[in-house]
Structure 1
Amino acid sequence: MTIQRYEIFNKVVQLQSITKAGIELSLTQSAVSHAIKSLEDELGLHLLLRNRLGIKLTREGEKIYEHTLTIIHAHHNLLQDAYALNGLESGAIRIGTFASVTTHWLPTILKEFKRKHPEIIVEILEDDYESLENAVHLGELDCCFTTAPTKHNIDFLPLHKDKLFCIVSNDNPLHTQTTMSLQQLEKYPIIKPKKGWDSEVITFFNKYKIDPTVKFEISDDQSIIALVQANIGINIRPELVLKNAPEGITALEFEDEAYRIIGLGFTNQTSHATKSFISIVKEIYQTI
């Protein structure tokens, strides 16, 4: 068995296509198919199911995929640390993030990382909290920005308390208030982030035993703000999201302090480059 076969297998699983995996890895379709067949023959297992919708893992393949991800992640870290020990730098790190961090934090972080490590490529994946944490857990990402508490078995480094506000349209009578009571949240239709993006809101509702009337579930921050602006409903948004918010909405503080904790999720198998990335993030943005 070779590392390359594991890499090919992982790429086919992630892209759910032999053709797409071949293009990304600069291999022919027959070379990819041969590598998968060789891996299945050596293991004595059927790993992939092929149908008109694409490719998915068999039950045995799901278990093997967990191991191949771990192997590739360990190999990646080994090379990074070997480069560092030799006084050289190369390779890539894979970072997970979400929209508000991408917009307001990443430009500064990446600029500083590039200054310190000009030869290391940073790959960015933007997704919801749960998907990012799962990708770190599986070794598909080196670390990710997420919010506490994490749902997966990964380490969490808290960085910043991001205050929560209730945002309302300036056409809504609530906009004349200075604060928002918890009781009022149940009297107005709420536009809620979709599952995966909603951890801080769900935590808030559960903490105060609030039963909201959810009008819409939307994943994109700017779409949520636009609907609030049009007085379709109210919403709970963190301060970082509300930076440079458009006119026409008012952000109300809650009577009781409410916030999400932004932090970094990672495993104990972090490479030299990933540790440096985490150190830079801590230096710039850690406030707690």
Structure 2
Amino acid sequence: MNFRRLRIFVEVVRQDSFSRAADIVAATQSTVSKAVRQLEEEVGAPLLDRVGAHNILTPAGEIVYRRGMKLLADRDDLLVELAELRGLKRGTLRLGLPPIGSSTLFAPLFTAYRRLYPGITVHLVEHGSDQLEQILRAGEIDLAGLLLPTSEDFDSELVRSESLVALLPDTHPLAARSSIRIEDLREMDFILFESSFSLHRIIYDVCRRAGFDPSVVAVSSQVDFVIELVATGLGVAFLPQMIAAQRLHGGVRAVLLEEEGTAWQMAMVWRRNAYLSEAAQAWLDLVRHRQTV
């Protein structure tokens, strides 16, 4: 049913006049008459009984008028909601973030986003990179914080690139060095993050390139717990330099790991050619803006 004709008909009934309705809808009187006639043809029944100077609704006209007002109101509500989405007054951002680095990299962005778009609901999930990638691929989230490189199925925006550091007990002979190679740690026990974390895979890969498999004595998903284990002398662990610097511990020393292919490159990632909602696009725009200021 044509909404323009329906609105004209409703105004004719409201104004009880074709001429006044024409003024309301900014049309000529002949256009109004034609629109009502076309609506009657579409319905297949007369809608108005013209008695003298008045227009009386027929039974069919009463139905069309009553239902028509609701249809027009619903259409207006629809347009308002879409406008609010475009203006980011409403909507949902489905965001996946990793436990490592999120508090440093994304907490300030999250706060800025909430301040700019208080009407947007943020649905946040936290997992290691491998699980986040699966969730993103399934379309359950719009964007995810993942370590590069990622699958060719994704597009990405680099957020931060950091060197890795080896965390050693401050009493260890190697703790006084300014830098270290993975080969120097061959005989040490390793404390790693869980296998779903990209950092786990990075360390295993660099060890294997050096010709050995690490001796793993503990696996965790908690940064602070890993640092405490290092402080007790249990073994060596690894973190991005930025994160290690913010988690200073009197019993731990951070030594730069000089190995190719160990850069910790955090990126915001989304499915290639996927539709990004206005809310997701606004988050991505904020990420890009924050990298330039």
What interval of TM-score do these two structures reach, taking the shorter chain for normalisation? Answer: 0.5 to 0.7
Deviation at 1:245, TM superposition (A): 2.4
Deviation at 1:208, TM superposition (A): 4.4
Q: CA RMSD in A?
A: 2.7
Give the Cα–Cα distance (whole angstroms) in 1 for the partners of residues 140 and 253 of structure 2: 39
Aligned structure 1 segments of 4 or more residues deviating by more than 3 angstroms: 81-88, 202-210, 255-258
Query: Computing the radius of gyration over CA atoms, which structure comes out larger, 1 or 2?
Result: 2
Is the contact between residue 191 and residue 216 of structure 1 (CA under 8 Å) also seen in structure 2? yes
Name the residue aligned to 2:290.
Answer: 284
Q: What does the per-residue CA deviation read over 1:140-198, in whole Å, with 9 as the maximum and x for residues that have no partner?
A: 11111010122583322222212100110112222122221232121211111111112
Question: Where does the alignment leave 5 or more consecutive residues of structure 1 unmatched?
Answer: 1-78
Is the contact between residue 204 and residue 213 of structure 2 (CA under 8 Å) also seen in structure 1? no
Is the contact between residue 136 and residue 144 of structure 1 (CA under 8 Å) also seen in structure 2? yes
* 1:206 to 1:84, Cα distance in 2 relative to 1, 3 A: farther
Name the residue aligned to 2:234.
Answer: 232
- Residue among 251, 254, 272 paired with 1:251: 254
* 1:87 to 1:235, Cα distance in 2 relative to 1, 3 A: closer
TM-score (norm 2): 0.64
Name the residue aligned to 1:222.
Answer: 224
TM-score (norm 1): 0.65
Deviation at 1:272, TM superposition (A): 1.2
Name the residue aligned to 1:146.
Answer: 146
* 1:88 to 1:157, Cα distance in 2 relative to 1, 3 A: closer
SS in 2 for 1:123: strand
* 1:168 to 1:88, Cα distance in 2 relative to 1, 3 A: closer
Which amino acid in 1 is paired with 2:117?
Answer: H
Name the residue aligned to 2:281.
Answer: 275
Structure 1 residues 66-215: aligned runs within 5 Å: 82-83=82-83, 87=87, 89-151=89-151, 153-197=153-197, 198-215=200-217
Name the residue aligned to 2:267.
Answer: 263
* 1:264 to 1:199, Cα distance in 2 relative to 1, 3 A: farther
Is the contact between residue 85 and residue 91 of structure 2 (CA under 8 Å) also seen in structure 1? no
Q: What does the per-residue CA deviation read over 1:44-99, in whole Å, with 9 as the maximum and x for residues that have no partner?
A: xxxxxxxxxxxxxxxxxxxxxxxxxxxxxxxxxxx9x9345754621211111122
Give the Cα–Cα distance (whole angstroms) in 2 for the partners of residues 235 and 286 of structure 1: 32
Which amino acid in 2 is paired with 1:270?
Answer: L
Give the Cα–Cα distance (whole angstroms) in 2 for the partners of residues 193 and 88 of structure 1: 38
Give the Cα–Cα distance (whole angstroms) in 2 for the partners of residues 159 and 86 of structure 1: 26
Question: Where does the alignment leave 5 or more consecutive residues of structure 2 unmatched?
Answer: 1-78
Deviates more, 1:83-92 or 1:215-224: 83-92
Is the contact between residue 159 and residue 286 of structure 1 (CA under 8 Å) also seen in structure 2? no
Deviation at 1:277, TM superposition (A): 0.1
Is the contact between residue 100 and residue 240 of structure 1 (CA under 8 Å) also seen in structure 2? no
Query: What's the % identity of the aligned pairs?
Result: 20
Give the Cα–Cα distance (whole angstroms) in 2 for the partners of residues 87 and 255 of structure 1: 47
Name the residue aligned to 2:243.
Answer: 241
Which amino acid in 2 is paired with 1:133?
Answer: E
Give the Cα–Cα distance (whole angstroms) in 2 for the partners of residues 153 and 86 of structure 1: 27
Q: How many residues are paired up?
A: 210
Which amino acid in 1 is paired with 2:143?
Answer: C
Is the contact between residue 160 and residue 286 of structure 1 (CA under 8 Å) also seen in structure 2? no
SS in 2 for 1:135: helix
SS in 2 for 1:240: helix
Which amino acid in 2 is paired with 1:215?
Answer: V
